[in-house]
Amino acid sequence: MKYLRSLRVVAVLFVAAVGAWLGIFLSGTVDTQVGPVETGMSLRPAWHGETIVDASPLGTLSFRTHDAPLRLRISLENIDQDRARAFIEDPKIADRLPEILERDLLDGVRALVIRSLLCACAGALMAVLLVFRRPLLGFVGLVATCVALSLTAGIAALTFKPASLVEPRYSGLIAAAPSLVGSAESLVTKFESYRSQLTKLVTNVSKLYDTVSTLPLYDADPRSIRVLHVSDIHLNPIAWNVIRSLKDQFRADLIIDTGDISDHGSKPENKFVEEIGRLGVPYVFIRGNHDSATTQKAVAAQKNAIVLDDSVRTVSGLTIYGLGDPRFTPDKSVAVDSDPAVLENFGRSHAVRLARPPDIVGVHDPVVGRGFSGSAPLILAGHEHQRSTSLLPSGTRLMVQGSTGGAGLRALEHAEPTPVMASVLYFDKKTHRLQAWDDVTLGGLGEQSVYIQRHVEEDPGRMISPVPTSAPTPSEVVTGTPS
């Protein structure tokens, strides 16, 4: 009998625990205002205690704030622009910002805890009554749940670590921008740092959302084709972290690299391109003037890689034509003709051979790209290490990407660091025309910042008409393949 009684008690406690877990899970989100930030707070059981700040679409910050098996998630949902501006600009309010944020945050957590406790107790009571159909056992399960939750809350309060807020773990885009919470090395790990870091986080995110709110609105269709455009990596391993993060964050269907993945095109550099096979999406590569034939072969050997050199492929629904750069500048023994007229004629001589207009033309040098004016709605290029976009007279848009590798080690030659740049392009799935694009810029060597600028194509369905020009003579065309 004692054994059966003990077994029943264990069963009641188990059912009550399941009911309490479901109650917490279904308790939903508590909306609360933390300073100028509108947040949503939720509490969930977890194996390890932590607090997660979700700054979507930028990513998340995770803090090991306590040891109790609970996960507190705070989602930054919106910014009250007027309040944010007042917090940032008014010195009197700015001085009181730590107290205001701390008070608002504690009020929100308190409301969340009360709501979760009530839902957990209700869940435990209902689960026991549904399974055993005895009010007395339901009362036992309710009491046990209240005791367990009180102990859990006590453990969370006793093990709270304010110093953990200076040691966050980053994921998503903000993994490249820890300036959102400042440098942990320059902060003291005492309770006061909790308030100062909270202030810095909210202030910087407020400024970020204030900037984003002024951008043109474009609600990307989830069915749109998303292309991540990168260029001029120049052997910088940081570029792979940026590319992987952007690919995941923006759910890119494919990546187009418009060249100069290497610096000298030598065989030892080939190992660098092995990261392409780990990206998990098609990687379209067009050779640059720093990429040798050896580099091109190394890229082609990687999983997911598609090398285009005077060839066309349909990738993720888009028809892409690519033309490798005719030069290989690291080879000093070969004369390099970079005359703009010659390069443009080189592009034009290949453009006239296209059987039908592709959706995208990819080249390395934008001067070569101008030779394809009127042959496609969009031309992607790189080479210049500066981002630009222009609408050619034919109606073709020429987009030049900056350096996704911050121009590699060559950036050390300049007084100012070269920014790390990439863009996410959104194409209509039916028309295959560009609808909008996001330009992403990260601070260069030694800087920690991230900027996202939205652009909307004003006339995505515009007519593209070839520009009449005289056909180039054979002597005007650049020929040859990089050695």
- Mean pLDDT for the stretch of residues 157-184: 53
455 against 476, higher pLDDT: 455
Residues 264 and 337 in one domain: yes
Q: Report whether 314 contacts 287 (CB < 8 A).
A: no
Tokens of 446: 């030694």
Domain boundary pick from 163, 185, 211: 211
Predicted pLDDT of residue 259: 94
Residues 334 and 447 in one domain: yes
Residue 193, pLDDT > 50, answer no
Domain boundary pick from 211, 245, 264: 211
Range name among 20-34, 70-84, 118-132, 161-175 with the lowest pLDDT average? 161-175
Predicted pLDDT of residue 191: 37
**Reported confidence tier of residue 173, pLDDT bands at 50, 70, 90:** very low
109 against 97, higher pLDDT: 109
Q: Which of 73-77, 211-215, 232-236, 339-343 has the highest mean pLDDT?
A: 339-343
**Reported confidence tier of residue 156, pLDDT bands at 50, 70, 90:** confident
CATH number for the domain that contains residue 318: 3.60.21.10
Number of domains in the chain: 2
Domain boundary pick from 211, 242, 267: 211
Residues 42 and 156 in one domain: yes
Place of tokens 């966050």: 168
153 against 479, higher pLDDT: 153
Predicted pLDDT of residue 481: 39
Residue 275 lies in a domain: yes
Distance CA 120, CA 259 (A): 57
Of 324, 346, 383, nearest in space to 478 by CA: 346
Residue 218 lies in a domain: no
Residues 446 and 304 in one domain: yes
Residue 289 lies in a domain: yes
Residues 400 and 438 in one domain: yes
Distance CA 273, CA 258 (A): 14
List pLDDT tens digits, range 425-465.
Answer: 999 999 999 998 988 888 654 445 677 788 888 899 999 98
Predicted pLDDT of residue 2: 60
- Mean pLDDT for the stretch of residues 4-23: 77
The residue range of the domain holding 307 is: 225-476
Residue 347 lies in a domain: yes
Residues 383 and 472 in one domain: yes
The CA dihedral of 63, 64, 67, 68, to the nearest 10 degrees, is: 20
Predicted pLDDT of residue 89: 61
Residue 219 lies in a domain: no
Distance CA 401, CA 232 (A): 8
Radius of gyration of the chain (CA): 29
Predicted pLDDT of residue 342: 93
Residue 217 lies in a domain: no
Residues 350 and 424 in one domain: yes
Q: What is the DSSP string of 42-78?
A: EEEE-SS-EEEEE-TTSEEEEE---SSSEEEEEEEEE
Residues 317 and 428 in one domain: yes
Residue 220 lies in a domain: no
Number of Cβ within 10 Å of residue 33's Cβ equals 14
Residue 423 lies in a domain: yes
Residues 201 and 303 in one domain: no
Average pLDDT over the chain reads 77
Residues 143 and 21 in one domain: yes
Of 337, 326, 343, 325, nearest in space to 288 by CA: 325
CA 338 to chain CA centroid, nearest Å: 36
Residues 174 and 256 in one domain: no
Tokens of 204: 């910087």
Inter-CA distances, 371 with 345, 359, 360, Å: 6, 16, 14
Residues 328 and 455 in one domain: yes
List pLDDT tens digits, range 364-382.
Answer: 999 999 999 999 999 999 9
Share of the chain above pLDDT 90, in %: 32
List pLDDT tens digits, range 289-342.
Answer: 999 999 999 999 999 999 999 999 999 999 999 999 999 988 777 777 789 999
Inter-CA distances, 370 with 320, 352, 390, 397, Å: 16, 13, 11, 10
> pTM (2 decimals)?
0.56
Distance CA 172, CA 178 (A): 11
